[in-house]
Amino acid sequence: MRKKDLIWIFAIIIIALLIYSRLVENRDPIPTQLLEDENTSIRQEDSSNIREKEDILNFTRQNAITNSIKKVQPAVVSVNVIKTKIVRRRMSFFFNFYDEIPYNVKAIGSGVIFSNDGYIITNQHVVEGATEIKIILTDNRQFEGKIVGSDKIHDIAILKIDGKDLPFAKLGTSSDLIIGEWSIALGNPYGYLMKDSKPSVSVGVVSAVNRDFAENQNGKIYRRMIQTDAAINQGNSGGPLVNIRGEVIGINTFIFSESGGSIGIGFAIPIDRVKKQTKEIVEYGEIRKIWFGFKVQDINPMLASYFNLDNMNGVLVNNLEKGSPAQKAGLQKLDIITKINSSKIKDTTDAEMAITDITIGDRIILEIIRDGRRRSIEIIASEYKRESK
């Protein structure tokens, strides 16, 4: 290539670079507002994404358990009780002279409102011996509580408060409980101590049903109890045990524990029994006494041999009142009762446990053995009347 041609090529490149540089300098800059708008748009998109993620997270946090708690929580109350106890004080060191001094003891428990006119379910042992009862709601309203009636044997008490716009919980059923289904225990013993008097909540499952206990030293019989591992802590007695639908399925009553704290073995009174006793108390102010009109005894080896029985299961009717519901139904002395409704009877303890849930008007089906033959007898539970003696 000739030298002259190289000079022309170099000159053309220089001219092209100068033209390009001038074009770049004369180009309009990107408006600042446009840049700001683009940044704002990006921030808005990021904020929108964050809100959307938060909405999704909040949606997943809301579940059947939290919804159930929302339904029942406002109806759970704090039951604050003052009881008067009498203490004997020795007056003289040398002589057996005593006097009695009353003093007040404070106790706490929980309860649940089950009607809009202010009826409350709790445990009988929570209010036993109470001289003053104060009920505190989750909205911090306070009311004087009155005992409508109680069932000491089944450990149920019904209280009443007078108020307006009272929240209440729906009473469900305990007849179809499933082992392993969710159970939620609520209690509100410290409502008087806290500005936010919302109840405490613990979640577990129905561990077992139909747990029977013999009569305890206080004369209470706990039968067909619901067992749950939802923590029932001190002061939560009388509070509701709730299912996933927000329905009360039991009343929390006691725990098994060596330390006094929950170890996951708690028991609740089935709500079906509570509803029957509640109906009696609200309508009559007490649990009306049932008149059966017969007495039974255990079967020993001698009686089993005499009646040609294969075993000693069942109870023997050893006394029958004249004109009683049992006699009118056809029961006879020396009949052997082997079953009461759905409960198989092995001894008198079983017989007593089998009739604890029965109220006035219930049908009682007895399966008996008479003269070596099995038959059934139906008795309608009647109210005990003194003139019927």
> Picking from 123-127, 164-168, 195-199, 322-326, which range would have the lowest pLDDT averaged per residue?
195-199
Q: Kindly report, residue by residue over 138-151, the tens digit of the pLDDT.
A: 988 999 999 999 99
Task: Inform me whether the pLDDT recorded for 30 exceeds 70.
Answer: no
Active-site position among 151, 155, 229, 350: 155
Confirm whether 139 is a catalytic residue: no
148 CB-contact burial (10 Å; exposed 0-12 / middle 13-18 / buried 19+): middle
> Looking at the chain, how many residues does it have?
389
Tokens 């159930």 belong to which residue? 68
Is the torsion defined by CA of 359, 364, 370, 374 positive or negative? negative
Over range 161-167, report the average pLDDT: 91
Give yes or no: 155 in active site.
yes
The position carrying tokens 């303890």 is 349
- What does residue 161 show for φ and ψ, rounded to 5 degrees? -125, 155
Which superfamily, per CATH, for 290-388? Answer: PDZ domain (2.30.42.10)
Q: Please give the structure tokens belonging to residue 130.
A: 């109470």
Write the DSSP string, 3-24.
Answer: HHHHHHHHHHHHHHHHHHHHHH
Mean pLDDT of the chain: 84
Of the residues 68, 110, 125, 154, only one is catalytic, namely 125
* DSSP letter string, 41-63: HHHHHHHHHHHHHHHHHHHHH--
The whole-number pLDDT of residue 42 equals 59
Q: Assess contact for 83 and 104: CB atoms under 8 A.
A: yes
Cα gap 172→242, rounded to integer Å: 9
Under a CB-based contact definition with an 8 Å cutoff, are residues 253 and 237 in contact? yes
CB 111 within 8 A of CB 159: yes
Q: Is the dihedral of CA 169, 113, 111, 79 positive or negative?
A: positive
pLDDT for 65 beyond 80: yes
CATH topology of domain 72-160: Thrombin, subunit H (2.40.10)
pLDDT of residue 27: 55
* Cβ neighbours, 10 Å, residue 81: 20
Percent residues over pLDDT 90 in the chain: 50
For residue 359, what are the contacts with CB-CB under 8 A and spacing of at least 6?
Answer: 276, 277, 279, 280, 287, 288, 290, 381
DSSP state of 129: T
222-274 per-position pLDDT tens digit: 888 999 999 887 788 999 999 999 999 999 998 876 556 666 789 999 999 99
Question: Which residue ranges make up each domain of the chain?
Answer: 72-160, 171-284, 290-388
Catalytic residue chosen out of the listed positions 237, 262, 324, 382: 237
Q: Matching CATH topology for 72-160 and 171-284? A: yes
CB atoms closer than 10 angstroms to residue 206: 23
Name the superfamily (CATH) of residues 171-284.
Answer: Trypsin-like serine proteases (2.40.10.10)
Query: Which tops the pLDDT comparison, 213 or 89?
Result: 213
C-alpha 363/C-alpha 373 separation (Å) is 23
Cα 159-164-170 angle, rounded to 5 deg: 60
**Cα 24–28–30 angle (5° rounding)?**
110
User: How many Å apart are CA 329 and CA 340, to the nearest integer?
Assistant: 14
Q: What is the pLDDT of residues 68-110, one digit of tens each?
A: 999 999 999 999 998 877 666 665 555 565 666 666 778 889 9
- For residue 296, give the nearest of 329, 328, 336 by alpha carbon: 336
Residue 125 is a catalytic residue: yes
Q: Give residue 220's pLDDT band: very low, low, confident or very high (50, 70, 90).
A: confident
Q: Which residues, 6 or more positions from 354, have their beta carbon under 8 angstroms from its beta carbon? A: 340, 341, 343, 345
Nearest Cα to Cα of residue 230 among 166, 180, 165: 180
Q: What is the mean pLDDT of residues 197-211?
A: 90
Sequential DSSP letters for 21-38:
HHHHHHSPPPPHHHHHHH
Most confident listed range (7-21, 41-55, 121-135): 121-135
